[in-house]
Amino acid sequence: MLPFLARRLIVAALVALAVSAVAFGLMFVSGDPAVVLAGQAGRAQDVELIRQVYGLDRPIPLQFLSWIGNAFAGNFGTSLYFNLPVAPIIAERLSVTLVLGSAAFLLALVVAVPLGILASLKPGGTIDRIALMLAVLGQAIPSFWLGLILIVIFGMWYGLVPISGTESWQGYILPVVVLSYYAMPALMRLTRAGMIDVLTADYIRTARAKGASQPRVLLVHALRNAVLPLVSLAAVQFGLMLSGSIVIESVFAINGLGRLAWESLLRSDLPVVQAIILILSLIYVTLTTAADLINAWLDPRLRSA
């Protein structure tokens, strides 16, 4: 297991580094950051001055190397937009995103997995049809629209929860519901499909013949094998939630990492964008590596892969 882990960690670090380098290059390809920083009222001479003051006139590879060197030393630089150190800004937004993403992910799992198991017991039955309908709705309804509807009903009409912001914990309720509803369909479908597949296998018949109870058959024998693809999907879904849904963050005025990334990209705030990309790519590779490790633990045959 250890060499497997070491191999994965090295790959993960290299991926994060490569993503950062590509992202850095793309920021310049997509337009001159100095022009963006100068703003709409910026004249050509303002652009030139910004280029010099912020060191944007240096060769791009050199800029990247100096950035990555500082980043490794724990210095993410200063935001060009806020004129403040990047690290505290990101820490502030990351904490919001972690709460929102984790809560939504847990809610999605808690609802989707049991629902998928129940639906798999009798394909075509009432529960199955209800579950599939919920899944279809979850995929079809834009989260943007759902968010605004919930705001109107629970925020405006009944005044039960705040309409926007996360100044109180109640502010998280609606966005968590919307974000988790967005993630549920895929998790539910995969659980259902995996369980249907596994439940017809010989070893389940054997388990039942040996007199194992229904919960034991489902949760111990079937689920362990059925969840293998689910673990990989869940890792990606969780990553998506942590990278933040820009749409949901916008609707609920939640200042998470996703929106910060998007806004910083639009205003060419290079140090912030780079730091976020590095953090997000590290989160992604960590999650997918964790998923691989969990799968290897669940199914020893994968360890030699």
Partner 1 sequence: MKILGTTALAGALLAASFAFAPAPAMAGKADDTLNAAFALEPEALDTYKIAGREGLILARHIYDGLLYKDLDTGEIKPALAKAWRFVDPMTMEFDLREGVTFHNGAKFTADDVVYTLTTVLDPAYGTRFRIAVDWIDKVEKVSDFQVRIKMAKPFAGAVEMLADALPIYPAAYFKEVGSAGMAAKPVGTGPFKLTEMTPGIRYAFERFDGHYAGSPKGKPAIGKIVVRTIPELNTQFAELMAGKLDWTWRIPPDQAARLASRVQIVNGPIMRISYVGMTVTGKGKDYPTKNLKVRQAINHAVNREAIVKAFAGGASQVLNTACNPKQFGCAQDVTKYAYDPAKAKALLTEAGFANGVDIEMVFAAMPRPVAEAIANDLGKVGIRTTLNEQQYAAGVQKWRAGELPAFFTNWGSYGTGDVAFIISNFFGGGADDLVQDKEVMELVNAADTSQDRALREANYAKALKKIADQAYWLPMYDFNINYGLSQQLTFKPHPDEFARWWLSSWK
Q: List residues near partner 1 by CB under 8 A.
A: 30-32, 35-46, 49-50, 52-54, 78-79, 81-84, 89, 92, 142, 144-145, 148-149, 151-152, 155-157, 159, 163-165, 247, 250-253, 255, 259, 263, 266, 268
Q: Record the tokens describing residue 40, joined without a space.
A: 């709409």
Q: DSSP code of 108? A: H
Provide the minimum distance between the beta carbon of 48 and partner 1 in the complex, in angstroms, as a whole number: 9
Provide the minimum distance between the beta carbon of 111 and partner 1 in the complex, in angstroms, as a whole number: 24
Contacts of range 18-25, beta carbons closer than 8 Å, 24 or more positions apart? 19/277, 19/278, 19/281, 20/64, 20/68, 20/274, 20/277, 20/278, 20/281, 21/64, 21/68, 23/273, 23/274, 23/277, 24/60, 24/63, 24/64, 24/67, 24/270, 24/274, 25/60, 25/64
Provide the minimum distance between the beta carbon of 171 and partner 1 in the complex, in angstroms, as a whole number: 12
Complex with partner 1: residue 2 or 41, whichever CB lies closer: 41
**Burial class, 214, CB count within 10 angstroms (exposed 0-12 / middle 13-18 / buried 19+):** exposed
Complex with partner 1: residue 151 or 199, whichever CB lies closer: 151
Complex with partner 1: residue 15 or 163, whichever CB lies closer: 163
Provide the minimum distance between the beta carbon of 30 and partner 1 in the complex, in angstroms, as a whole number: 8
**Burial class, 218, CB count within 10 angstroms (exposed 0-12 / middle 13-18 / buried 19+):** buried
Complex with partner 1: residue 139 or 206, whichever CB lies closer: 139
Nearest to 183 by CA among 225, 236, 146, 133: 236
Provide the minimum distance between the beta carbon of 173 and partner 1 in the complex, in angstroms, as a whole number: 15
Provide the minimum distance between the beta carbon of 296 and partner 1 in the complex, in angstroms, as a whole number: 39
Complex with partner 1: residue 243 or 268, whichever CB lies closer: 268
Q: DSSP code of 244? A: -
Complex with partner 1: residue 170 or 213, whichever CB lies closer: 170
**Burial class, 209, CB count within 10 angstroms (exposed 0-12 / middle 13-18 / buried 19+):** exposed
